[in-house]
Every structure is written in structure tokens, then in C-alpha cells.
């Protein structure tokens, strides 16, 4: 199997093309698109090109390549029956012979242009007539004044001249209006004719993209080659539909792909593969460089941004500090500053990683590999110099799914996708997953009680993060987001609010007391869940205690509870230490009013009586913590 990239082909083309005359003239073929691997922003297309005729050397031109082709991605493969000697990409301009309807339009345009020219000349003639009358008036008036002074004025002749003058002005004005109207009409007709001609001749002159292959056919039997290339302006994203029956025993998961296809060629009856990887032209991965370090004085007191001061002395430090401001950035930074730096590093990492994959030669691969090493060195310096805040951010970001897994879904043959602006949807997978339905009540936030289902991905595919629509018993209940779910992993899907359930939170009692220098405040709360249906319903009731950032300053103690707090392992590990309370209870059928399901609990807060309890002034870190908890709740 032979595989030549365009760069290699161009390097040896001068040898391959000149070593001997071509035995057979070039033949133009299109081939057929048989395989498509669709990435997030590009696609790799494979055309099967038939090669017929006698054995020997020949030039094969594969025509009508798409507009969005990436030229340096072109390569060809041949089997034992045909050897690929060179591949190159070319463009050329072509045009069509004028058609009869175009000729007729050209004749009409010419006639209209001649009419417009005649009208323009007539308008110019009217201007000259007006100028002549002005000169005539300049002659008549002085002459009449002179004749009147001498007593020889011919009144009858003066009257005829005056009448003639005014009549001519009136005629000129009428003709000017008529000619201006004719000019507007002709211009409108010309514009319409030109527009029609442009519509008919659109695409008559165009650029053709072709692949020129120089091949050695080994035998006379028909054979074929595979021509592959990348195209841009296409991609896909996941989309889900979750359909649950009224009994809640199963959820049918429909995994779809929304496809954007504007490559410039249609894909008809192809073997389609969807991939989350990045297409790569380079076979070699990036190389790892040693991480060199040195000691430098800690000059954070002088440099609020944490600039490094060189160890060689103040003069060197003054010269190096501006360039080394970003070197020593592990300590004294807020969480938002660390996140900002990480975001920049991750963006550079993605850019250089893609560049390595698309590099076509040894020099470029090494250059982009060095850039990747430089980014990694900055990241490792965060680890080396980082204080507690920095390391906390690094740990939380390391557990994220920002890059996501590299997955491929082979949909098989028979998929057709036209090149068009509308999004097109294809089905990746459809399967039933066993589900455990329950309800979630958070009365401190809302009186509504929401349905949730815990599912386990029992399919043969990983599920990518993406939007979803939820249906219950055939009815649309809402939209949401699905996280990335591995095979065998559990996840949670919401199915909207249940109108037959209500929840509320009531403060039953509050008491204050002072013991020595401390104030102690005791609270008693009642959580009320009403079930208006005729079926008992499992509900997770969630509330919260205040969570003290510094336990030595504020002591918060949970007292008596009417129901046992949940022992769910994930809840106990992740949420209970943050002061969140959860009870897994069942609301009886028709439990409303006096029969409502009640949960009561007490807690106490003790602190120095000289202070009051206050919320933190900065909400940014707290919001990030909340978002992390929400992501964890979606995946079990």
C-alpha cells in the first residue's frame, strides 16, 4: 500500500514526471465519494477512482474537487495492481460557450444602450438650443432699446421675436421632461437585462479544482485507487432525546448527530464515521524536552504581580524582570487569576497540539513541539511554586472534562448528506436503559418538585456532552444538558416538574441565649411535602445548614431530625461536609393539608457575641464551587 502526501509528491515530482514519456494520455474522471470521516470542524473524504485500460504509466486527472478542500491534505493510495508515483493539486479557470438566450440578451442590451445614447445626445442638443435663445435675447433687448430711442422701433417684429422666444422655451421644457422620462425607462430596462444576464451566466466562468495523479498500472485488469483529502466548513455536534414511559421503568435514549455540511460537494450513499478527534497529517507525535529550573529570589514584596528577580544581582534583575513577569506566578494569586492563566495555557496547548498534528515536515513538527513544551513548562511551574489557592484550582481543573474523550461512531454505509446551509440530523444510536425515577424537592428555593431519573449507560458507546430534549409519556417536558458519560457510568436526567407535588419550608422556632462571651442561636424548621396523586412517591428533600469557612470562629451543630439524613455514599462524601442536608423519604398517596409528609430538624449556631453572622463578600469562588457540585450531581 502506497501513501504519498502532497509535500513528498511535490518534492519528487520533477524526477517522476521526467524520467520517461507517459505511455497513455491523461484521462479525466471524478470517481465516487465512498467514505467520510466527519470531525468537529473538518471531514476526511475518500473517493474511489477507477483505473481502466492497458498496463503502463499514465496521468489521471480527478476533477470537480470541492470548493472547501484543504490542498496540502491530498494523498492517494493504490494496491498491488497500481503504484502511485506522484500526486499534485491544481486549479484552473474554465468558461462556457455563450448560449442563444445570452446572445439575445446581449442584442437587447446593445439596442437599449443605443437608445440611451440617442436620448443623451438629444438632451445635449436641448442645452445648446437653450444657450442659443439666451444669446438671441441678449441681442433683441439692446436693439429694441436703441430703436425705441431713435423712434424707429418695429413693434410687430419685436412681438414676433418675443412670441418665438417664449414658444421655444416652452417646447424645450416639454422635450426635456420627455427625454428625462425616456432615459429613466431605458436605464431601468438596461438594469433588468443586465440582471437577467448575470443570473443566466452565473457560474459560467469558474475555478475547477483537480488532483493530478501519475500512476504505474501493473496489469490490464481494471483496478481502482483511493484519493483522500480534508474539507473544511463542516462538522457535527451531539443531540439527545430522552423518552420515558409513565411507569418509569425504562428510558429510551436517542443519540443523534446534528451535521453542518457546506463543503461544496454532496455525500451520497457514503460510509460515514463521526469522530471527536482532530485530523492529523503528521505521523509523529510531539517530543518531550527536559524541564530546566534554577533558583531565583522571591521579589513578590517589590512586584505585586509576582515577577521573578534573577539571582545574578540587581542589575540583571532590572533587565530581566519585564520579560520574566509571567515566570514566577504560582503564589499570591486569586482563584480568578489562576483560572485566567490556566485558560490561556489551555488555549495555547490546543493551538500548538493541532499545529503539530497538521505539520507536514520535520522542522515544523519540532517547532510546534517546542511551543507545546514551553506551555507545559509554565503549567508545571504553577505546580512547583503554587500555594494552596493555586493547587486547589489545579486539582479541580484536572478533574474536568474540558477536552472530552476522543471517540468515533461508525454509522455504516448508505448515509447521504447534501452540501447545504440547513443542519441535517442522523441517528447514531437508539437504546433502552433501565431507570430509577424519583423526585427532588428543594423548598428553600422553590415550591415545585422535579422529576429525575438515574440511568446507567448500558450501551456500547460513550455519550458525549450535548443538549437534550426530554419526553414523558409522549409529552415534551423540557430541555437540558447531558454530561459526557462513559460506558457503564451512571448519570441523572431531569424530566420536569410534577404538578401533583408541592413543597415548602417553615421556620418553627428561633431562640437566642448568651453564655459567657458567646452567643448561641437555636433554630427549628419544618419541611412540608404535599402529594395530591393517588400513588406513593419517593422524594429526595434537600435543605441546608450554614457552612462556616472557619470552624473555629463559628460552630454549627445539627440537632434532632425527625427522619434520618441520607446515607448515599456520594452525598456523604461530597455534599454533607458543605452543610447540605438530604432526606430520602416517601410521600404517601393523597398526602395533603393535615396529612402532608413532614420533616423537622433543629440546629444551633454559636459564635463570639461581639460579631454577627455575615455572608462572604466575594461570590466568584462560591459560584465556581456550586457549578462543580452541579456537574457532580449529574454523574453518579
Torsion, CA 344, CA 349, CA 352, CA 358, rounded to 10: -130
Across residues 187-214, what is the average pLDDT? 82
Determine the Cα–Cα distance for residues 470 and 496; give it in Å rounded to an integer: 8
| Upper half-sphere CA count for residue 326 (Cβ side, 13 Å) | 14
pLDDT higher than 80, residue 235? yes
Regarding whether 137 and 18 lie in a shared domain, the answer is no
Torsion, CA 180, CA 186, CA 189, CA 190, rounded to 10: -120
- Letter string b/e over residues 82-105, b meaning 16 or more CB atoms within 10 A of that residue's CB: bebbbbbbeeeeeeeeeeeebeeb
Sign of the dihedral through C-alpha 343, 345, 350, 351: positive
Determine the Cα–Cα distance for residues 615 and 389; give it in Å rounded to an integer: 20
Q: Output the pLDDT for position 233.
A: 92
User: Residues with Cβ < 8 Å from 128, sequence gap 6 or more?
Assistant: none
The answer to whether the beta carbons of residues 437 and 248 sit under 8 Å apart is yes
pLDDT higher than 60, residue 535? yes
Q: Alpha helices, DSSP H only, in 498-619?
A: 569-574
pLDDT higher at 609 or 239: 239
pLDDT higher at 200 or 179: 179
Cα 430 versus chain centre, distance: 25
Cα 347 versus chain centre, distance: 15
Residue found by looking up cell 442638443 in the block: 125
Regarding whether 496 and 554 lie in a shared domain, the answer is yes
Q: In the listed set 398, 415, 448, which residue is the last one of a domain according to the structure?
A: 398
pLDDT in tens, 536-563: 999 999 999 988 866 668 888 999 999 9
pLDDT higher than 70, residue 309? no
Regarding whether 582 and 452 lie in a shared domain, the answer is yes
Number of structural domains (the chain) is 4
User: Residues with Cβ < 8 Å from 490, sequence gap 6 or more?
Assistant: 454, 455, 456, 457, 635, 636
H or E, element range at 108? helix 100-150
Determine the Cα–Cα distance for residues 439 and 571; give it in Å rounded to an integer: 16
Torsion, CA 416, CA 420, CA 423, CA 426, rounded to 10: 0
H or E, element range at 155? helix 155-201
Q: Output the pLDDT for position 458.
A: 93
pLDDT in tens, 495-508: 999 999 999 999 99
pLDDT higher than 60, residue 234? yes
pLDDT higher than 90, residue 211? yes
Regarding whether 215 and 194 lie in a shared domain, the answer is no
Residue 343, beta-bridge partner list? none
Regarding whether 449 and 539 lie in a shared domain, the answer is yes
User: Residues with Cβ < 8 Å from 173, sequence gap 6 or more?
Assistant: none
Regarding whether 52 and 134 lie in a shared domain, the answer is no
Determine the Cα–Cα distance for residues 487 and 506; give it in Å rounded to an integer: 43
Regarding whether 119 and 83 lie in a shared domain, the answer is no
Regarding whether 464 and 326 lie in a shared domain, the answer is no
285 located within any domain: no
341 located within any domain: yes
423 located within any domain: no
Return the axis-axis angle of helices 362-385 and 388-398, rounded to nearest 10°.
130
Percent of the chain surpassing pLDDT 70: 81
pLDDT in tens, 284-307: 567 777 877 776 665 444 443 343
pLDDT higher than 80, residue 358? no
Determine the Cα–Cα distance for residues 454 and 242; give it in Å rounded to an integer: 12
pLDDT in tens, 121-136: 888 888 888 888 888 7
Q: In the listed set 381, 398, 415, which residue is the last one of a domain according to the structure?
A: 398
Regarding whether 323 and 197 lie in a shared domain, the answer is no
* Containing structural domain, residue 49: 2-32+45-95+207-229
pLDDT higher than 70, residue 512? yes
98 pLDDT tier (thresholds 50, 70, 90): low
Regarding whether 148 and 128 lie in a shared domain, the answer is yes
pLDDT higher than 50, residue 368? yes
pLDDT higher than 50, residue 320? no
Dihedral pair phi/psi, residue 549, rounded to 5°: -65, -35
526 located within any domain: yes
Regarding whether 589 and 442 lie in a shared domain, the answer is yes
User: Residues with Cβ < 8 Å from 392, sequence gap 6 or more?
Assistant: 335
If DSSP codes are grouped into helix, strand and coil, which group holds residue 393? Answer: helix
319 located within any domain: yes
pLDDT in tens, 584-613: 999 999 998 889 999 999 999 998 888 888
240 located within any domain: no
Cα 16 versus chain centre, distance: 43
Lowest mean pLDDT among 254-263, 374-383, 408-417: 374-383
Residue 580, beta-bridge partner list? 544
281 located within any domain: no
Residue found by looking up cell 436703441 in the block: 146
Determine the Cα–Cα distance for residues 132 and 139; give it in Å rounded to an integer: 11
Regarding whether 214 and 188 lie in a shared domain, the answer is no
Residue found by looking up cell 413532614 in the block: 598
| Upper half-sphere CA count for residue 532 (Cβ side, 13 Å) | 8
Q: Output the pLDDT for position 19.
A: 37
pLDDT higher at 619 or 527: 527
The answer to whether the beta carbons of residues 402 and 464 sit under 8 Å apart is no
pLDDT higher than 60, residue 91? yes
Give the chain's mean pLDDT: 81
Amino acid at each position: 500500500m502506497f501513501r504519498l502526501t502532497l509535500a513528498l509528491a511535490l518534492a519528487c515530482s520533477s524526477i517522476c514526471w521526467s524520467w520517461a514519456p507517459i505511455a497513455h494520455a491523461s484521462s479525466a474522471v471524478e470517481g465516487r465519494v465512498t467514505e467520510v470521516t466527519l470531525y468537529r470542524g473538518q471531514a476526511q473524504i475518500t473517493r474511489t477512482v477507477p483505473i481502466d485500460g492497458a498496463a503502463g504509466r499514465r496521468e489521471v486527472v480527478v476533477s470537480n474537487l470541492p470548493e472547501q478542500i484543504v490542498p496540502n491534505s491530498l494523498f492517494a493510495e493504490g494496491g498491488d495492481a497500481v503504484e502511485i508515483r506522484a500526486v499534485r493539486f491544481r486549479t484552473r479557470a474554465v468558461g462556457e460557450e455563450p448560449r442563444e438566450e445570452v446572445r439575445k440578451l446581449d442584442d437587447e442590451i446593445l439596442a437599449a444602450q443605443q437608445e440611451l445614447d440617442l436620448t443623451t445626445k438629444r438632451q445635449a442638443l436641448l442645452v445648446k438650443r437653450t444657450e442659443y435663445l439666451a444669446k438671441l435675447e441678449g441681442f433683441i433687448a439692446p436693439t429694441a432699446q436703441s430703436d425705441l430711442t431713435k423712434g424707429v422701433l418695429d413693434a410687430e417684429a419685436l412681438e414676433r421675436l418675443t412670441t418665438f422666444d417664449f414658444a421655444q422655451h416652452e417646447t424645450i421644457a416639454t422635450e426635456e421632461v420627455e427625454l428625462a422620462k425616456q432615459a429613466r425607462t431605458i436605464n431601468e430596462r438596461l438594469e433588468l437585462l443586465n440582471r437577467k444576464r448575470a443570473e443566466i451566466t452565473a457560474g459560467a466562468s469558474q475555478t475547477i479544482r483537480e488532483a493530478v495523479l501519475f500512476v504505474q498500472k501493473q496489469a490490464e485488469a481494471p483496478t481502482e485507487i483511493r484519493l483522500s483529502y480534508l474539507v473544511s466548513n463542516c462538522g457535527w455536534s451531539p443531540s439527545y432525546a430522552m423518552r420515558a414511559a409513565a411507569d418509569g421503568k425504562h428510558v429510551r435514549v436517542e443519540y443523534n448527530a446534528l451535521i453542518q455540511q457546506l463543503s461544496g460537494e454532496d455525500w451520497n450513499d457514503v460510509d460515514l464515521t463521526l469522530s471527536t478527534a482532530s485530523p492529523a497529517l503528521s505521523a509523529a507525535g510531539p517530543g518531550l524536552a527536559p524541564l530546566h529550573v534554577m533558583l531565583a529570589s522571591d521579589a513578590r514584596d517589590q512586584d505585586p504581580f509576582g515577577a521573578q528577580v534573577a539571582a545574578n544581582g540587581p542589575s540583571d534583575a532590572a533587565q530581566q524582570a519585564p520579560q520574566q513577569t509571567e515566570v514566577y506566578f504560582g503564589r499570591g494569586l486569586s482563584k480568578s487569576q489562576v483560572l485566567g492563566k490556566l485558560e490561556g495555557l489551555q488555549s495555547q496547548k490546543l493551538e500548538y497540539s493541532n499545529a503539530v498534528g497538521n505539520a507536514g515536515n520535520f522542522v515544523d513538527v519540532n517547532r510546534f513541539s517546542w511551543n507545546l513544551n514551553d506551555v507545559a513548562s509554565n503549567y508545571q511551574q504553577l505546580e512547583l511554586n503554587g500555594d494552596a489557592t493555586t493547587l486547589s484550582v489545579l486539582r479541580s481543573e484536572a478533574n474536568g472534562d474540558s477536552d472530552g474523550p476522543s471517540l468515533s461512531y461508525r454509522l455504516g454505509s448508505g448515509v447521504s448528506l447534501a452540501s447545504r446551509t440547513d443542519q441535517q440530523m442522523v441517528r447514531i444510536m437508539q437504546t433502552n436503559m433501565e431507570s430509577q425515577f424519583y423526585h427532588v424537592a428543594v423548598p428553600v428555593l422553590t415550591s415545585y418538585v422535579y422529576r429525575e431519573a438515574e440511568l446507567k449507560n448500558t450501551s456500547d458507546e460513550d455519550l458525549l456532552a450535548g443538549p437534550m430534549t426530554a419526553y414523558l409519556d409522549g409529552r415534551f417536558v423540557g430541555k437540558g444538558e447531558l454530561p459526557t458519560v462513559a460506558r457503564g457510568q451512571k448519570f441523572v436526567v431531569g424530566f420536569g416538574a410534577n404538578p401533583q407535588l408541592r413543597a415548602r419550608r417553615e421556620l418553627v422556632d428561633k431562640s437566642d441565649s448568651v453564655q459567657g462571651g458567646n452567643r448561641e442561636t437555636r433554630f427549628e424548621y419544618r419541611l412540608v411535602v404535599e402529594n395530591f396523586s393517588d400513588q406513593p412517591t419517593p422524594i429526595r428533600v434537600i435543605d441546608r445548614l450554614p457552612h462556616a469557612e472557619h470552624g473555629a470562629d463559628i460552630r454549627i451543630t445539627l440537632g434532632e431530625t425527625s427522619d434520618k439524613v441520607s446515607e448515599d455514599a456520594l452525598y456523604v462524601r461530597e455534599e454533607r461536609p458543605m452543610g447540605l442536608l438530604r432526606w430520602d423519604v416517601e410521600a404517601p398517596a393523597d398526602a395533603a393539608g393535615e396529612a402532608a409528609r413532614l420533616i423537622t430538624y433543629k440546629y444551633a449556631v454559636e459564635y463570639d457575641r461581639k460579631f454577627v453572622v455575615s455572608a462572604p463578600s466575594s461570590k466568584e469562588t462560591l459560584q465556581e464551587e456550586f457549578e462543580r457540585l452541579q456537574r457532580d450531581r449529574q454523574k453518579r
